[in-house]
């Protein structure tokens, strides 16, 4: 899981509820977070794929930046998105990069009434805030909300369960959001998530989040910990910041070119563009790939990757056993000449080399809903 220990160990507003459900906690990005519940990671993973899992992601940053057209233009100097042409309440996956296009963080940015909401990774959110504020010359109102919680409900039954508690979100398109009513309050919901399943993320006041989660549990959702969240996102071929992407990788090296708006690739004008443009035209030394071990071994992070001549050509960044596909799966970086599908490679696990090959991503077919029900 790559847990970063912080002595603060902040508790989310759902901490007591997690305790009541028998959660095992770990320190993660400065928070005390549930890694699993009594049924275990595999059962939690399977339940999310078959029914609906509930994730407490309140440790993540919810940043609101207030402003109009001028803000949009200024944010386009930072993020490689065509923000002028996204719709109100539409969300986009993107990155905060430095001038060399190395990734400070990956994030979700949503155009909302009055400005933009940005969801930041927990370990990066405070530094991200400082970086963005500085790049915007501190000329906009920015709020990193501490009075809001964030929960995700994911799985094939997520829409039906959620609509029994909150009317309307099941009509949302994928990567779109809106305001909805819950318990005499307004909550902001997007149809999104990080598991490869249909689902929703719900931003709700700290004073209402436990009540909402209890109601969703009554309707059939189950609490899921960080352990299954990790196996779910890895099956879906999705990156985990600090592991698969970091300040030593660019979006092109990470095979995330698709997340950069085509118009921005043509016209530039954003932080890191020169490096991005150069790598697209000239190629990169390394590329992120999916790797399928041919034997039943788990190649964890930092596992060395070799070619058939026993030369080191890369390293694993994430590895686990995929409960949905019943196979070991890994993400990693290899020298670009070895990134072609079906290239045979070797993985060194506990001093022994095992055969593997470069494979197509995702490992598990995603089930996102493209249109409203």
- Model confidence pLDDT, tens digit, residues 339-366: 999 999 999 999 999 999 999 999 998 7
Strand partners of residue 346: 306, 355
**CATH assignment at residue 118:** 3.30.70.1400
DSSP annotation of 82 reads -
pLDDT band at residue 3, thresholds of 50, 70 and 90?
very low
Q: What is the mean pLDDT of residues 95-123?
A: 98
On average, the pLDDT of the chain sits at: 95
Residues near 115 by Cβ (< 8 Å), separated by ≥ 6? Answer: 64, 65, 66, 67, 68, 71, 140
Strand pairing of 327-335 and 312-322? Answer: antiparallel
Give the pLDDT band of residue 129 (cuts 50, 70, 90). very high
Q: What is the pLDDT of residue 366?
A: 74
Claim to verify: residue 125 and residue 201 sit in the same structural domain: no
Cβ–Cβ < 8 Å for 191, 199: yes
Please indicate, yes or no, if residue 131 is contained in any of the structural domains. Answer: yes
Residue 99 sits in the same domain as residue 205: no
Phi then psi for residue 345, to 5 deg, are -140, 180
* 2 pLDDT tier (thresholds 50, 70, 90): very low
Is the pLDDT assigned to residue 373 strictly greater than 60?
A: no
Residues 54 and 150 in one domain: yes
pLDDT at 241 over 50: yes
92 pLDDT higher than 60: yes
Q: Which residue carries 């001038």 as its tokens?
A: 99
Of the three residues 128, 144, 160, the one that is the final residue of a domain is: 144
Q: Which of 165, 156, 200 lies closest to 48, judged by CA? A: 156
Cβ(369)–Cβ(198) below 8 Å: yes
One domain for residues 231 and 164: yes
Per-residue pLDDT tens digits for 291-314: 999 999 999 999 999 999 999 999
In total, how many domains does the chain have? 3
- Are residues 86 and 176 both part of a single domain? no
Last residue of a domain, one of 126, 144, 162: 144
Residues 136, 165 within the same domain: no
In 120-208, which ranges are continuous DSSP H helix?
A: 125-135, 158-163
Tell which of 144, 170, 200 closes a domain: 144
User: In the predicted model, is pLDDT for residue 371 greater than 60?
Assistant: no
Residues 88, 106: one domain? Answer: yes
332 assigned to some structural domain: yes
- Is 366 inside any structural domain? no
CATH code, 274: 2.40.30.110
68: pLDDT confidence band, cut at 50, 70 and 90? Answer: confident
Cα 308 to Cα 344: distance, rounded to the nearest angstrom: 7
Whether 9 maps to a domain, the answer reads no
Would you say the C-alpha torsion 2, 330, 45, 295 has a positive or negative sign? negative
Relative to beta strand 199-205, strand 148-154 is antiparallel
pLDDT digits (tens, 9 = 90+) for 158-189: 999 999 999 999 999 999 999 999 999 999 99
Cβ pair 321, 328 in contact under 8 A: yes
Tell whether 193 and 208 lie within a shared domain. Answer: yes
Q: Is residue 243 part of a domain?
A: no
Q: Distances from the Cα of 164 to the Cαs of 206, 214, 216, 218, in angstroms?
A: 21, 13, 8, 10
Q: Is the pLDDT of residue 8 over 80?
A: no
Domain shared by 153 and 228, yes or no: yes
Which residue range(s) make up the domain with 179? 15-58+146-235
Residue 33 and residue 153 share a domain: yes
Cβ-Cβ contacts under 8 Å for 69 (sequence gap 6 or more):
none
Q: Is residue 47 part of a domain?
A: yes
Integer Cα distance of 110 and 116 in angstroms: 6
CA 326/CA 138 separation, integer angstroms: 50
203 & 262 share domain: no
Handedness of CA 274, 280, 286, 287 (dihedral sign): positive
pLDDT score for 9: 85
Rounded CA-CA distance 83/112 in Å is 12
317 falls within a domain = yes
155 neighbors 50 (Cβ within 8 angstroms)? yes
Q: Does 301 fall in a domain?
A: yes
Residue corresponding to tokens 């508790």: 11
pTM of the model: 0.94
Percent of the chain past pLDDT 90, that is, above it, reads 95
In this structure, are 52 and 159 located in the same domain?
yes
């Amino acid at each position: 899981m790559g847990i970063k220990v912080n002595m603060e160990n902040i508790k989310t507003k759902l901490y007591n509820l997690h305790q009541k459900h028998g959660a095992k906690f770990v320190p993660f990005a400065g928070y005390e977070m549930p890694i699993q519940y009594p049924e275990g990671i595999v059962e939690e993973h399977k339940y999310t794929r078959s029914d609906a899992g509930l994730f407490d992601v309140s440790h993540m940053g919810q940043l609101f930046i207030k402003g109009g057209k001028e803000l949009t233009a200024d944010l386009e100097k930072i993020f490689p998105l065509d923000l002028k042409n996204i719709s109100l309440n539409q969300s986009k996956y993107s990155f905060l990069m430095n001038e060399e296009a190395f990734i400070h963080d990956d994030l979700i940015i949503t155009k909302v009434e009055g400005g933009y909401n940005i969801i930041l990774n927990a370990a990066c959110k405070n530094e991200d805030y400082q970086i963005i504020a500085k790049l915007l010359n501190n000329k906009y109102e920015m709020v990193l909300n501490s009075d809001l919680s964030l929960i995700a409900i994911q799985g094939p039954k997520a829409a039906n369960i959620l609509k029994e508690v909150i009317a309307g979100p099941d009509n949302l398109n994928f990567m779109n959001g809106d305001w909805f009513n819950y318990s005499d309050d307004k909550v902001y919901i997007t149809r999104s998530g990080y598991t490869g399943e249909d689902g929703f993320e719900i931003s709700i006041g700290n004073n209402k989040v436990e009540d909402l989660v209890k109601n969703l549990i009554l309707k059939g959702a189950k609490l899921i910990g960080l352990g299954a969240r990790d196996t779910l996102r890895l099956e879906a071929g999705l990156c985990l910041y600090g592991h698969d992407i970091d300040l030593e990788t660019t979006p092109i090296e990470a095979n995330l070119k698709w997340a950069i708006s085509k118009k921005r690739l043509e016209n530039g004008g954003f932080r890191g563009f020169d490096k991005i443009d150069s790598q697209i035209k000239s190629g990169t030394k390394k590329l992120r790939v999916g790797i399928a071990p041919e034997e039943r071994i788990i190649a964890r992070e930092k596992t060395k990757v070799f070619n058939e001549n026993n030369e080191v050509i890369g390293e694993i960044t994430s590895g686990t056993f995929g409960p949905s596909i019943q196979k070991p799966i890994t993400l990693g970086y290899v020298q670009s000449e070895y990134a072609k599908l079906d290239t045979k490679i070797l993985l060194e696990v506990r001093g022994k080399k095992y055969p593997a090959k470069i494979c197509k991503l995702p490992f598990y077919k995603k089930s996102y809903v493209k249109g409203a029900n």
